[in-house]
Amino acid sequence: MAQAYVTETGNGDSGSEHRGPRLRRLLDRWRADRGIWRRGLILAALALLLALVMVLHAQIPNRIGNLGSLTETFLPWLGLFVPVLVVLALVRKSASALIAVLVPSVVWLNLFGGLLVDRTGSGGDLTVATHNVNAENPDPSGTARDVAASGADVVALEELTATAVPTYEKALAATYRYHSVQGTVGLWSKYPLTRTRPVDIKLGWTRAMRATVATPEGSVAVYVAHLPSVRVKMEAGFTARQRDRSADALGEAIADEPLKRVVLLGDLNGTMNDRALNGVTSQMRSTQGAAGSGFGFSWPASFPMARIDQIMVKGVEPVTSWTLPGTTSDHLPIAARVKVAATGS
């Protein structure tokens, strides 16, 4: 028995002792390798180029296929190139490439590292939700029930069709006493709605609306918007001119809003990084960026890659923001809780 014990202990110590020399031998070989700094210069250049793209994304022109907006839409995903470059640098045994990869790593963390931290809080006095329900949704009644189950006080729906509206109205009637549908967007609320009207976002038909929600803590102007879709075409690139014009018109409407408390709910078909939405994003805060956890991607529902559905606020304090479980739509619904009290008039 004693002999067996000594044998097992010896094997364990031997493994530990061997790991140290192996690591030292590897480092010695790298130090003795005179080509370690000369190899992988192309990889080092690619790493620095990646960092430049992330730092100077706002300088990438939109004149050719809206390349700048396309890059900004998927900007967080550029971080996936970092581990790839690290592996290639190790395979090439290139110290130059390994050091260069530190640059895009730092840049990415500076841009998006804050989103990896849980910023959700507690409290708040108003819960809002928004969902692009998809015009071809096979189960609008089930989708409505799923969104109502979130407990939201105010719900915005986009991409409503004339044939589906009665189904949504019936499914949501028990939870939301007040509602208004304007064109293809609608707002359902537990609190009274006044001054409800469509908002012209330069499309020729109604895809945006505005209403005053009389919450117990004070009146809030709530906007619902569904900006035009963007397309990626081989011959034209990232086509988004109509979306960009609508975003500017929406920004002007919000800037002219007389109430200080404003909430924007909707599918903006663009991310917070997209410069084309500056007319809106320059005057409002994203609840996900201020009080969320993670990136909160909402589209496509099967494999979310971008947060193009937004909840944005002005004169209202975000408390927490989250993505709701999927429905039969191609978008994920999103929700946020905000503090209305003592934040404006």
Q: Which residues, listed in sequence order, are joined to residue 188 by a DSSP beta bridge? A: 155, 179
Q: Residue 284 to residues 220, 306, 313: CA-CA distances in angstroms?
A: 14, 19, 5
What pLDDT does residue 341 have?
A: 87
Q: Under a CB-based contact definition with an 8 Å cutoff, are residues 290 and 265 in contact?
A: no
What pLDDT does residue 231 have?
A: 65
Instruction: Give the pTM.
Output: 0.85
Query: Tens digit of pLDDT for each residue in 55-101?
Result: 999 999 888 777 888 899 999 999 999 999 999 999 998 999 999 99
Task: Parse the chain into domains and list their residue ranges.
Answer: 33-116, 126-339
Query: Tens digit of pLDDT for each residue in 124-134?
Result: 999 999 999 99
Angle (CA) 22-24-25 rounded to 5° is: 65
- What are the residue ranges of helices labelled H in 139-196? 140-148, 165-172
Nearest to 130 by CA among 327, 333, 271, 296: 333
- What's 126-339's CATH class? alpha beta
Strands across the sheet with 262-267, in order? 193-198, 208-215, 218-226, 262-267, 309-314, 285-286
What pLDDT does residue 36 have?
A: 85
* pLDDT tens by residue, the chain, 345 residues: 444 444 444 454 555 555 667 766 656 666 666 778 889 999 999 999 999 999 999 999 888 777 888 899 999 999 999 999 999 999 998 999 999 999 999 999 999 998 988 999 999 999 999 999 999 999 999 999 999 999 999 999 999 999 999 999 999 999 999 999 999 999 999 999 999 999 999 999 999 999 999 999 999 999 999 999 876 554 444 457 888 999 999 999 999 999 999 999 999 999 999 999 999 999 999 999 999 999 999 999 999 999 999 999 999 999 999 999 999 999 999 999 999 986 655
Q: First CA to last CA across the chain, in angstroms?
A: 82
